[in-house]
């Protein structure tokens, strides 16, 4: 049996081969299309028609004509949840559960064979979903169900699913004339292809670069564990000396600790020009970016929007690109005085203490670390020794167990790599609530960054409740020298962030697929639970239970924690402006920019930097070429959501601060009003139900040290 077609349990990773992909997906696509045809034949909308449902907005905003040929058979029955929505939900879930492991393996165990079949199959998946979104007959039936007597008796979750479907049909081009539908479909297929190529180019360019240093004197300042990892990497490639790459665990310590300025510059230049015209032509993302932005604009105009920013926000909390841009500019004004002060201090320190008269981008991480060490009398490397993996994971689990009343234990399941592990989450009665895979370490076959993805989503099926399952992926340094891996405090924060996403997926109590877990949650609110979790990484009562020095075994000293806390908002002005720069660039590129219209993407970024940045990178830097979030991820015209959701998360966390950060009563309230609700109601409704009021920006400014009184 094809392992991708086995839906009885968890994915059979050990058995999945590239040759399984095409047959499985083609079979499911054929079955799904046959099902859709049968549903359209069997279920008829009521003959009296009905008006547009209220509150569902849309691109075209016009009444649909009844589609001829679908309501003529008197034996047809009106569409209901059970005879119409449920069968489609089952079929699409099977397709998702077959394709999901393929996409996951392509991201974490990339190989030429898998990449080839993934990229060959992706257009077929894209075409199928685009066809669904454009199917006028399906849209008519969802409208009929919305206007039927049954609708009033449906659960809030099912009502929300139907309302979302109506919105998504409009956004998917269901109302377009046939010639424009054909063009819309072409755009979707081409965008999927371009996004996949963007990601592949970046991975290939990242993996291609290695730097071998044979003279240890050139590596002055680098920590011992970093040197050991680099030496092991060189031995693996049968090289003498120390081998460095552009993967974060290798690259970041060089930028932060290497005394050798020319080494830092060399690595910075290599990283900053990845997948650009400075490298291999076949990996250059320049033309791909232009085409992606141009096609997104065309897609938006086809659907009746002025630009892609408007289209993107049609399913988000924010009202308009203008509102987002103004939010970012206001936050920029609040942060700028702090950023200017940060940079002036750093330049003066670099000049007087480090002998660097002209601070450059490749000096910033190094000088910042030296300034932090001088000002707060500790280094990140010192802190890192207190966070071994076998203390961090149990500590994080204990926190979640305390505030949510859960039990987390290692479980057993087939995995894709020996480093991946599997865990069960149970309630206090021992009932299984959710499960997750954890893949923490960087490797050449794995794309960069950290992310959560769903494996199985909670829903009610014939046998009962389906247990939700998630993937949690990071790119940390693997263990070296026979010891457990050790994490920087920033990596601990990243781990908590991804686990927050995972809990949002795993602790849902919704029983309908379309709004269960993270499904149906507005994109600019989906970061709320993840950013919320980050706050606990600054709590003494949490950290002291998850630290143990890698050599001495002693817990984190309170004095060192106090120094970390004092340094928490070190350069927060610079960091905030950096996020605003990315978010403003993203939204302006998708709302106030014409690709190929005389101004390049790089020129637009230069304009944004001139407006909001205080630290301008060198002219050769090609940041957009590796900006995966917006060119090959889900954040196009949505990168602002990190700051938008941070307002929500900081304000939500302030209720814990007021009542005790380990308060299980407040934890239960957060779980029931935010995590459990999934997308079954609007994110603002869930927030106000938890907090008792609408969000305020004050907690964010206070947490980031951006208040004048701080």
Residues annotated as part of the active site = 498
Give the other-Cβ count within 10 Å of 48's Cβ.
7
From the number of C-beta atoms within 10 Å of its C-beta (0-12, 13-18, 19+), residue 34 rates as exposed
Q: How far apart are CA 506 and CA 472, in angstroms?
A: 12
Look up residue 377 and give its two tokens.
């009398």
Please list, in sequence order, all residues whose beta carbon lies within 8 angstroms of the beta carbon of residue 378, skipping any fewer than 6 positions away: 372, 560, 563, 564, 567
CB atoms within 10 A of CB 100: 17
Q: Measured between alpha carbons, how far is 203 from 189 in angstroms, rounded to an integer?
A: 22
Q: How far apart are CA 210 and CA 243, in angstroms?
A: 7
CA pair distance 44, 78, nearest whole angstrom: 5
Hey, is 683 helix, strand or coil? Answer: helix
Structure-token pair, residue 449: 């960054």
Distance CA 214, CA 248 (A): 21
Specify the DSSP class assigned to residue 537.
Answer: G
Strand order in the sheet with 432-441: 406-410, 421-427, 432-441, 469-476, 451-456
CA distance 224 to 230: 10
- 494/436 Cα distance (integer angstroms): 17
SS3 (DSSP) at 476: strand
Buried b (16+ CB within 10 A) or exposed e, 471-480: bbbbbbbebb
How many helices (DSSP H) and strands (DSSP E) are in the chain? 26, 9
Q: Show the tokens assigned to 156.
A: 């809030």
């Amino acid at each position: 049996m094809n392992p991708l077609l086995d839906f009885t349990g968890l994915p059979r990773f050990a058995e999945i081969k590239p040759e399984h992909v095409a047959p499985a997906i083609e079979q499911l696509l054929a079955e799904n299309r046959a099902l859709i045809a049968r549903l359209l034949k069997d279920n008829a909308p009521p003959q009296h028609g009905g008006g547009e449902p209220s509150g569902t907005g849309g691109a075209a905003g016009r009444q649909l004509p009844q589609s001829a040929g679908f309501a003529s058979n008197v034996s047809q029955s009106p569409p209901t949840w059970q005879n119409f929505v449920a069968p489609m939900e089952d079929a699409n879930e099977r397709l998702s559960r077959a394709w999901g492991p393929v996409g996951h393996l392509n991201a974490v165990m990339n190989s030429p064979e898998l990449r080839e079949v993934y990229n060959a199959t992706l257009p077929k998946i894209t075409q199928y979903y685009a066809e669904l979104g454009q199917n006028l007959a399906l849209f008519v039936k969802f409208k009929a169900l919305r206007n039927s007597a049954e609708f009033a008796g449906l659960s809030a979750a099912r009502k929300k699913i139907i309302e979302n479907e109506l919105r998504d049909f409009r956004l998917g081009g269901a109302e377009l004339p046939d010639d424009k539908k054909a063009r819309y479909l072409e755009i979707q297929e081409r965008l999927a292809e371009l996004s996949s190529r963007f990601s592949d180019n970046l991975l290939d360019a990242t993996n291609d670069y290695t730097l071998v240093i044979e003279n240890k004197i050139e590596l002055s300042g680098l920590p011992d564990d970093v040197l050991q990892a680099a030496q092991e990497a060189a031995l693996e490639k049968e090289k003498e000396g120390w081998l460095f790459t552009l993967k974060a665990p290798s690259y970041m310590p060089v930028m932060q600790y290497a005394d050798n300025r020319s080494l830092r510059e060399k690595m910075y230049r290599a990283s900053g020009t990845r997948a650009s015209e400075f490298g291999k032509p076949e990996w250059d993302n320049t033309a791909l970016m232009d085409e992606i932005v141009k096609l997104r604009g065309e897609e938006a105009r086809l659907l009746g929007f002025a630009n892609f920013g408007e289209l993107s926000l049609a399913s988000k909390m924010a009202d308009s690109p203008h509102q987002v841009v103004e939010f970012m500019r206001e936050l920029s004004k609040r942060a700028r005085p702090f950023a200017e002060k940060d940079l002036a201090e750093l330049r003066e320190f670099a000049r007087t203490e480090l002998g660097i008269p002209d601070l450059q981008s490749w000096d910033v991480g190094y000088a910042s670390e030296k300034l932090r060490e001088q000002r707060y009398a500790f280094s990140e490397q010192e802190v890192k020794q207190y966070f071994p993996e076998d203390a961090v994971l149990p500590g994080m689990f204990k926190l979640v167990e305390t505030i949510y009343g859960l039990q987390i234990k290692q479980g057993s399941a087939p995995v894709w790599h020996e480093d991946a592990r599997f865990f069960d989450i149970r309630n206090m009665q021992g009932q299984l609530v959710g499960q997750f895979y954890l893949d923490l370490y960087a490797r050449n076959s794995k794309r960069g960054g950290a992310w959560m993805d769903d494996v199985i989503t909670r829903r009610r099926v014939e046998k009962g409740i389906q247990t939700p399952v998630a993937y949690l992926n990071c790119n940390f340094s693997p263990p070296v020298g026979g010891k457990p891996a050790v994490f920087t405090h920033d990596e601990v924060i990243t781990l908590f962030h991804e686990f927050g996403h995972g809990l949002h997926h795993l602790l849902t109590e919704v029983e309908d697929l379309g709004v269960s877990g993270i499904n149906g949650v507005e994109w600019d609110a989906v970061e709320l639970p993840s950013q919320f979790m980050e706050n606990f990484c600054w709590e003494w009562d949490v950290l002291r239970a998850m630290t143990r020095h890698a050599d001495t075994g002693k817990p984190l000293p309170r004095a060192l924690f106090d120094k970390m806390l004092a340094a928490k908002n070190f350069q927060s002005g610079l960091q905030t402006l950096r996020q605003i720069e990315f978010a403003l660039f993203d939204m302006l590129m998708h709302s106030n920019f014409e690709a190929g219209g005389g101004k390049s993407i790089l020129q637009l970024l230069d304009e944004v930097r001139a407006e909001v940045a205080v630290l301008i990178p060198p002219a050769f830097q090609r940041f957009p070429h590796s900006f995966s979030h917006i060119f090959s991820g889900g954040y196009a015209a949505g990168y602002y959501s990190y700051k938008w959701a941070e307002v929500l998360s900081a304000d939500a966390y302030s209720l814990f601060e007021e009542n005790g950060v380990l308060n299980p009563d407040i934890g239960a309230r957060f779980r029931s009003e935010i995590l459990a609700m999934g997308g079954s109601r609007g994110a603002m409704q869930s927030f106000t139900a938890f907090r008792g009021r609408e969000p305020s920006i004050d907690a964010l400014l206070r947490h980031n040290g951006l208040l004048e009184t701080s």
